[in-house]
Amino acid sequence: MHLTDEEQRILNGEHGEPQRLSLQVLVKLGEAYGAERMVEIRSAHLVGSSYQIAGEAGIAIYTQLVEQGARVKVRTTSDPGSIDFTRWRQFRTPAEYAERQILIAELLDRMGVIPTWTCTPYTIFNVPRFGEDLGWSESSAVVFANSVMGARTNRLAAYVDLCAALVGRVPRFGLHLPEHRRGEILFELDPALSASFEDHHFPVLGYLVGQVTGDRIPVIVGIREATFDQLKAFGAAAAASGSVALYHMVGITPEARTLDEAFGGRPPVERIFVGKREIARTLEQMSSGNGGTVDVVGVGCPHASVDQMRRYASLLDGKRVHAGVELWVCTNTVVEEMARKMGYVETIERAGAKLMVGTCHNDCPLGAWGFRRLVTDSGKFAYYTPTTVGSECVFASTEACIAAAITGQVERR
Ligand code: F3S
């Protein structure tokens, strides 16, 4: 692997131990993937900010790095933590657990990480531009940055993301190379389905695409239009049920103005037809167990936008969450503040729902609740809930989720 004089100096330890160690890790990663050189990155995003992910090993590594004077070299943001920093007691988080997450926050702060605590950093804090190289982790953010914004990042692992932040570089392989960004597998939407495509179909289609695609690059044709939030929901589901880090949606995403551009002039290696039957089958797979009494409803995965907060508020206005049911809305502090100014938070909380800020159901320890059935409109929650929350999960549209919170009952569609 070719290294510049500056990189060689870093490896020789001239810029301190944190940089030397970080570059050594990145060089080894690059050699494993056949990278010819490093590339400078515009920003980093860290999934290892969560105690659930970083664990005690993360605390030990971060402590050592701080003692050695580590500082991030590029704009670096943090993914959701494992607690809501202001309301963790409300969510029955054990105090010892909360203390470990607070310690991680202090350590990251000392390294210069921006405490965004969100999986949607691309909306305001860390907005990539087309063609920029990044060093990001968090599967839902990586797939959004690559696909919708046209930036370039591989799906980095925890700790490796911090190495990238500390040296401002990543090895140039995979999705940093234009020739590795071409579509491989084509998903053709039935025109009859495409004409009646609804909001909740996006995470379902994403889930289906992820299952079939694995880590290849899917191209979807037949979607007529999609909002920012719909693309967010689609990508998060595809990145959870598969390892999708980049997708192209013809006529919608920037590297797919035409079908030919999406495939870089090559034919697809596989074609998949998606009609109502395939969507119905996937919907079935996204729920475990049967419907019935609801314990908890989770919306805002990935973190809710102001538009979504407005929608929750309008669905909850004048209503009341059923006694014994928890309705949790996950978002970040900036959206919370804006939604509060606009009166949405007041409406949501008056109905008995709770805001879960800077974290989510999948990042927090929820054992103390003993939940048996969760309802969600998120493909990513639907995929992870049986293992992270340990409960049954029913996937439903946003409207059906709010209705389930109000009635305390859900039907499996
Ligand atoms: Fe974000 Fe948590 Fe969902 S990190 S993407 S809200 S599982």
Structure confidence by residue, pLDDT tens digits, 91-107: 999 999 999 999 999 99
What ligand 1 atom has the least distance to the C-alpha of 363? 2
Ligand 1 in reach of 303 Cβ (< 6 A): yes
pLDDT for position 204 = 98
Handedness of CA 252, 254, 256, 262 (dihedral sign): negative
Ligand 1 centroid to Cα of residue 184, in Å, is: 27
pLDDT for position 390 = 86
pLDDT for position 128 = 97
Ligand 1 centroid to Cα of residue 34, in Å, is: 32
What ligand 1 atom has the least distance to the C-alpha of 80? 4
Q: Which residues pair with 45 in a beta bridge?
A: 77, 136
pLDDT for position 197 = 93
Ligand 1 centroid to Cα of residue 125, in Å, is: 17
Ligand 1 centroid to Cα of residue 261, in Å, is: 31
Ligand 1 centroid to Cα of residue 88, in Å, is: 17
- Which parts of 33-94 fold into alpha helices (H)? 51-67
What ligand 1 atom has the least distance to the C-alpha of 236? 5
Ligand 1 in reach of 299 Cβ (< 6 A): no
Q: Whose CA is nearest to atom 2 of ligand 1?
A: 360
Q: How far apart are the C-alpha atoms of 410 and 247, rounded to whole Å? A: 32
Q: With CA atoms as reference, report the closest residue to 83 among 122, 115, 123, 45.
A: 115
Decide: 72 and 39 in contact? Cβ < 8 Å.
no
pLDDT for position 389 = 85
Q: Whose CA is nearest to atom 1 of ligand 1?
A: 302
pLDDT for position 289 = 76
Q: Whose CA is nearest to atom 7 of ligand 1?
A: 362
What ligand 1 atom has the least distance to the C-alpha of 141? 5
Ligand 1 centroid to Cα of residue 80, in Å, is: 7
pLDDT for position 411 = 87
Residues of the chain with pLDDT under 70: 413
Pocket probe for ligand 1: among 53, 357, 360, the residue whose CB has the most ligand atoms within 8 Å is: 360
pLDDT for position 343 = 98
pLDDT for position 241 = 96
Q: Is the pTM of this model over 0.95?
A: yes
Complete domains list, the chain, with CATH: 5-173 (3.30.499), 182-285 (no CATH), 292-410 (3.30.499.10)
Q: How far apart are the C-alpha atoms of 7 and 392, rounded to whole Å? A: 50
pLDDT for position 104 = 98
Ligand 1 in reach of 363 Cβ (< 6 A): yes
pLDDT, tens digit, 9 for 90 and up, residues 73-85: 999 999 999 999 9
